[in-house]
Structure 1
Amino acid sequence: MKPATAPASPGAAATPAPTAEGRVRAYHQRTKHHLQRYAAGPETLDWDAQPDPFRRWAGAVVTMLPLPAATLAQGESPAWEALFREGAVPPRPADRNAIGLLFELSFALAAWKQHGPDRWAVRVNPSSGNLHPTEAYLLAQGVRGLDDGLYHYAPREHALERRAQARAAAGEGTRLWIGLASIHWREAWKYGERAFRYCQLDAGHALGALRYAAAVLGWRARVVEGLGDAELAALLGLDRDGDFQDAEREAPDCLVELLPAPAAPAGAAPDPAQWLMAGTWLGKANRLDKHPMYRWPVIADASAASSRPQLESACAGVPDARPPDIPDAPAAAEPAVEIIRTRRSAQRFDRRAVMPLSALARLVRALVTAALPWDLLPGPARIHPVLFAHRVEGLAPGAYVLPRSAAGEALLRSALGAGMEWLPVDGLPLWRLAENPALAGTLRTINCHQALGSDATLAVAMLAEYDGALAGAPWSYRDLLAEAGLLGQVLYLEAQACGFNGTGIGCYFDDALHELLGMEGTRLQSVYHFTIGAGQHDPRIQSTPPYAGREEYAWTPEPSNA
């Protein structure tokens, strides 16, 4: 309901309605944390009344999935470094076993944790506050052991819930898509108005988790371009009011096509009216929060303002190739399955740990390569990290910038403060902006006074090409945040491969960081922070397997067509 306004005086010009781009910009500005105040959020949290972390579709047909990861980790998993060499991982056939592994390495539970009477699940893909607003859907055709149709993935059960059946004439061969959607309330329950940002960051992490899982199978993956939110909502059944009733709605994020065959050409998204059978929909969504205490209408407005239209043409451009002067990082021989499944968000760091320069080189190389996982996204890189080297071997404490494209470097040079040094770093595509012997205090302050900032060996602030991306395309706000989340997923897994741990930082003082870097205006905006260090385990927290008693669902051969 719009607020009442006084009638305009005769002859007065009417105030123009804000554009979609203006509403997105207003949301971003409104949800900044400041040193004097935080963005609007709940004043209190009733942890006993936390929303259900698991969406289920009552009445849908349930198909249990195999759990192959443990078996693969014992000798069949490709090494981590093999994922990045084209053709090094032979593609596995698209059967129910492969689908089980795909979800086990992307959206499944990683463990159950317990401290005293409290018990909670952690998942393979990270999430702000472990709240997991991202839901995953599978559209499958021609998968051995699985009926054609649309499925929702249920992570607690590691199962698929069939929501709709595909038409018999859907076509021959194998085609696979994963659709992602966000339940904004899952984040808003804890974080208030800033939650819309976190949902988009989580979508980026989910994209990264999915791309790495596909690589273990030897598959390619790509985000489907040009698909509008309305079309994706229809394809995933998110526009079916009767299936939600009073349950929290899901907002469509994106659709990813999986390409199991090495030379399989990417295709267009299926037309829901032609691909899914009318009248075959099953399932009603469960309500996650019975008694919500707050309402945050600005989130719904930001979501509507950044809604993606159906586009005629694909986005031009590809990520820049890796500069040739980056030294190759030491090969990580650990099984890819183990690195993916054991990733955890650090809760605290060893403040004495030092990062070897070789580990930093590995992280830098992973962020600027044109290969996995950046082959997932269309368009050029628009997120550029500022690295705060706190305790990195061979580097003076201070700020270093990593331009991820030539155009990005030009923008950074013009937008960052005139007092920045811009000194090259030998052997790496880094530029030192400024030394800071008191970096620990700076990092703690900037990151909402958290010790995760001051105790890290390396902190990262991600700067987005804000004005250029949003001009005439307000939905690009979501793309920027998703790209930042994908960058965070790269940091998580590469840190794990180096023997370190990472954690995403959503709470930071936006404009205080901009001032520190001498930035004015909105050509660049900070959209995500990340810290890396030597994680310390809390011995009071017990950990148990995610799917105890499910041994019967280990990797099993599918029957042949004969």
Structure 2
Amino acid sequence: MSSVERDAASVVRHYHERSKHRLEAYAAGPETLDWDAQPAPFRRFEGAPVVSLPLLSELPADSPIARALAAPFDSLGEARPPIAPSLASLGALLQSSLGITAWKSIGPDRWAVRANPSSGNLHPVEAYVLVRGVAGLADGLYHYEPERHALELRARGAPPPPGREGPRVDLALTTVMWREAWKYGERAFRYCQLDVGHAMAALRYAAALFGWRLAEQAHVGSATLATALGLDRAADFAAGRRADTEREEPEVLLSLSWEGEDAPLADPEELARFARVASWHGTASLIDARPMYRWPVVTEIAEATRRPEAEARAPASASATSDATGPRRSSGAPRRRAGDVILERRSAQRFDAGHVLDRDLFFELLDAALPRRAAPWDVLAQPPRVELVLLVHRVSALDAGVYWLNRRSASSEALVARFEERFRPSRAPGAPPHLDLVELMRVDPRQLARVARTVHCHQDIAATSCFAVGMLADVASAVSEAPSAYRDLYREAGVLGQALYLEAESRDLRGTGIGCFFDDPFHELLGLEGHACQSLYHFTVGKPKIDPRVETAPPYAPRPTRLPGALDE
């Protein structure tokens, strides 16, 4: 590791400790919030040509896209004939992963729900599409605008050649970190990375619907990605009161493929060349005209964890070190349509505290968290590093207590020795042979509920769920290899969260991601000391209690008939 990398690793360690919630004090955040002055949840590029994308509701019921949406959700891991790339299929991909799925309202308050969840529903993630050779779209770079379900042409020109005949589509994700920092202060960077992971998984699930593959281009560095997306074009982004509130951070480049193999690797030099010769359009709309606080540590950690350019090589699937086998569904639960599961996913606000989860369903949910050479795990370029510790409240034929699902990740070995020293681990009764579920300790249900509530920032939802999950990783080892791995850890946790969301939804349950937890008290519960194994993200699953006061409206109003691909005025 170079001296620069050592300095960056030190920044990461400092940030992680500084951004922890503690029983005696939360991580630094704003002292007050003005909800009427919330950062803009949608960004537009004023002056950029706009292409409206076909809505799912506008597609014929017998179209290949509609039939794909009607397939059972648990069949997404199976091979299926790919749908041809087109304006309609690209629109279906984006609506099923990053689009609005409903408008909710209660009294005077109204908000959008999207296919990709977000901490605080603040949605820092922005998406871009690099297109070459797709009918109905001029070659170039587009910004996806979910409020209108439209593409804004940011740069016209031919992106790098695909490396083989036929069209090429690359997707890029960025974050407007101020959207999270506005509410969460210094912890915002963590939440942005979790949201990127959720978005990556949402895109991968949607791609699987249409028989497509999606692979991370991890060799493309942050600086190159910023150039290719025009994020370093300062004149295109209004400064407002402060430049940092408007800045977009380059996160990840993903390549689509529909030919049974991953797309050819992107060429960083060609991406930079595209940005130099393209014709650019539009200026970014303002995110926050009157920011009240400053969080310079968020900028510092972002700079320290940016990815350098790497040697282009075939991506190593996240499932490279673990390829789970075993039944994907055996409980006999009804098979729900994939499109319904994806578009109806919601975060539970309250759980039924008396609901007991069937043990076979519980095992199926955990099975879905094991890395496989399939969606969503193969979207990640890095092998798995995240482990799951579960606080099991109410699962039939299982004692309440603390359990560990060994995903056989790069962090497993660090946990084995620690858990064997502190507990008397034993295999969970009834677990399928391929599911390495370990009982660490039994706990009186009332005491476990109190512990879960306290650890999760005193939130009832962690105690009334059927089970809660803590996601752990050996942060020290990962960051010592590369500071940018800090982002990868949270993204893997976000992918896990999205898998749990959809798997729960497919079984008429609900999940809720929890970013607010007391880090070190959770570590102490597990006997973890030092700075190696750290908690990244928590999650709960249970039977939801629906608030009848909340009204639901369709995500998009009907639009007049128009020519596909025509530019809007």
- Fold-level similarity (TM above 0.5): yes
**Pick from 117, 122, 144: which aligns with 1:131?**
122
Percent identical across equivalent pairs?
46
Aligned to 1:84, the other structure's residue is in SS state: coil
Provide the C-alpha distance between the structure 2 equivalents of 1:468 and 1:429, rounded to a whole number of angstroms: 23
Name 1:352's counterpart in structure 2.
354
Name 1:293's counterpart in structure 2.
292
Provide the C-alpha distance between the structure 2 equivalents of 1:493 and 1:45, rounded to a whole number of angstroms: 32
**Pick from 492, 496, 513: which aligns with 1:504?**
513
Call closer, same or farther: CA 1:74–1:219 in 2, change over 3 Å.
closer
Bigger shift: 154-163 or 245-254? 245-254
TM-score normalized by the length of structure 2? 0.90
Give the counterpart letter for 1:227 in structure 2: V
Alpha-carbon contact 1:208-1:489 (below 8 Å) kept: yes
Aligned to 2:512, the other structure's residue is in SS state: strand
Aligned to 1:367, the other structure's residue is in SS state: coil
Call closer, same or farther: CA 1:316–1:540 in 2, change over 3 Å.
closer
Name 1:306's counterpart in structure 2.
305
Give the counterpart letter for 1:79 in structure 2: P
| Cα offset, 1:84, TM superposition | 1.0
Quick check: 1:187 aligned with 2:180?
A: yes
Quick check: 1:254 aligned with 2:242?
A: no
Name 1:447's counterpart in structure 2.
456
Alpha-carbon contact 1:65-1:97 (below 8 Å) kept: yes
**Pick from 434, 437, 440: which aligns with 1:430?**
437
Provide the C-alpha distance between the structure 1 equivalents of 2:136 and 2:287, rounded to a whole number of angstroms: 31
Across the aligned residues of Structure 1 and Structure 2, the Cα RMSD in angstroms comes to 2.3
**Pick from 410, 413, 422: which aligns with 1:410?**
413
Aligned to 1:19, the other structure's residue is in SS state: helix
| Cα offset, 1:262, TM superposition | 2.2
Q: Which runs of 5+ in 2 are unaligned?
A: 241-245
Superposition pairs for residues 191-206 of structure 1, below 5 Å? 191-206=184-199
**Pick from 84, 99, 103: which aligns with 1:108?**
99
Bigger shift: 421-430 or 251-260? 421-430
Give the counterpart letter for 2:156 in structure 1: Q
Provide the C-alpha distance between the structure 2 equivalents of 1:225 and 1:403, rounded to a whole number of angstroms: 26
Superposition pairs for residues 21-32 of structure 1, below 5 Å? 21-32=9-20
Provide the C-alpha distance between the structure 2 equivalents of 1:249 and 1:558, rounded to a whole number of angstroms: 30
Alpha-carbon contact 1:243-1:284 (below 8 Å) kept: yes
Give the counterpart letter for 2:84 in structure 1: P
Name 1:491's counterpart in structure 2.
500
Alpha-carbon contact 2:100-2:146 (below 8 Å) kept: yes
| Cα offset, 1:62, TM superposition | 0.3
Q: Deviations over 1:151-194 (max 9, x none)?
A: 00000000000000123994652111100000000000000100
Quick check: 1:339 aligned with 2:341?
A: yes
Q: Deviations over 1:507-540 (max 9, x none)?
A: 0000000000000112210000000111111111
**Pick from 238, 260, 267: which aligns with 1:245?**
238
Provide the C-alpha distance between the structure 2 equivalents of 1:393 and 1:434, rounded to a whole number of angstroms: 17
| Cα offset, 1:325, TM superposition | 5.7
| Cα offset, 1:224, TM superposition | 0.5
Provide the C-alpha distance between the structure 2 equivalents of 1:121 and 1:543, rounded to a whole number of angstroms: 10
Give the counterpart letter for 2:380 in structure 1: L
Bigger shift: 541-550 or 492-501? 541-550
Bigger shift: 339-348 or 165-174? 165-174
Provide the C-alpha distance between the structure 2 equivalents of 1:363 and 1:151, rounded to a whole number of angstroms: 37
**Pick from 362, 365, 384: which aligns with 1:363?**
365
| Cα offset, 1:359, TM superposition | 1.4
Call closer, same or farther: CA 1:327–1:217 in 2, change over 3 Å.
closer
Give the counterpart letter for 1:374 in structure 2: W
TM-score normalized by the length of structure 1? 0.92
Provide the C-alpha distance between the structure 1 equivalents of 2:454 and 2:470, rounded to a whole number of angstroms: 13
Q: Deviations over 1:196-254 (max 9, x none)?
A: 10000000000000000101111001001211100010111111111113150100110
Call closer, same or farther: CA 1:465–1:552 in 2, change over 3 Å.
farther
Give the counterpart letter for 1:350 in structure 2: D
